[in-house]
A and B are shown apart, each in its own frame.
Chain A
Amino acid sequence: DAKTTQPPSMDCAEGRAANLPCNHSTISGNEYVYWYRQIHSQGPQYIIHGLKNNETNEMASLIITEDRKSSTLILPHATLRDTAVYYCIVRPYTSGTYKYIFGTGTRLKVLA
């Protein structure tokens, strides 16, 4: 599975867009990019995923570069409740294994 690199922490002002980067320079053509977040002492929550195209849902937008070597998760109007650890994961969409590996993520702090 491709490895990901994320900054360990970021701050964002409440109401502003939070842009969380993820580097996955060794990603393969059959690997999806997934984003999850974990609010303190809770189970992680799925946010969004994508393969090649940019994606948007009610929670966030995912921008994947054309070469797919990096991506950015965008929370358009961050609130205090968005303070959490955000995990970027890449894994194949067809695989003989369901192994699913998390890194250490980015700790986002939304400031009032």
Chain B
Amino acid sequence: DGGITQSPKYLFRKEGQNVTLSCEQNLNHDAMYWYRQDPGQGLRLIYYSQIVNDFQKGDIAEGYSVSREKKESFPLTVTSAQKNPTAFYLCASSIVQASGANVLTFGAGSRLTVL
């Protein structure tokens, strides 16, 4: 089945460590996204990428980095510069339909806890 796979589902990190969250899609979607969600809050956009080798900052990019070397993959690195990294991280992808609509498909999420 086509979909988005995020790993790991749960991750624990010590302060000062970088950690990379994986996001892989087999939907042949061009665009991919990373969102962060804090308890009881909505989704906030970290980074997004429209095509391979290109990505743009979202609203809360500080302390995060991404790469888009392959169409299928959009890993997110949470660096030690991110002050409050404990959160639920969601990856999504999309393709523009013939109608012009742009529907997102989400992964199951990765929950990062900093100890």
Closest partner residue, chain B, to A97 (CB atom):
B56
Could you list 30 examples of A-B contacts with CB < 8 Å? A34-B103, A36-B104, A41-B88, A41-B111, A43-B4, A43-B90, A43-B107, A43-B108, A43-B109, A44-B43, A44-B90, A45-B106, A46-B103, A46-B104, A87-B42, A87-B43, A93-B100, A93-B102, A97-B56, A98-B50, A98-B94, A99-B56, A100-B33, A100-B48, A100-B94, A101-B59, A102-B44, A103-B42, A104-B41, A105-B42
Which residues on the A side are within 8 Å of B45 (C-beta)? Answer: 99-102
Which residues on the B side are within 8 Å of A105 (C-beta)? Answer: 42
* Tally of A interface residues using CB under 8 Å: 25
Residues of chain B touching chain A, judged by Cβ–Cβ distance below 8 Å, are 4, 31, 33, 35, 41-45, 48, 50, 56, 58-59, 88, 90, 92, 94, 99-109, 111
Q: Does A91 contact B (CB under 8 A)?
A: yes
| Closest CB pairs A-B (n = 9) | A43-B106, A93-B100, A102-B43, A104-B42, A98-B31, A102-B42, A98-B50, A44-B106, A46-B103
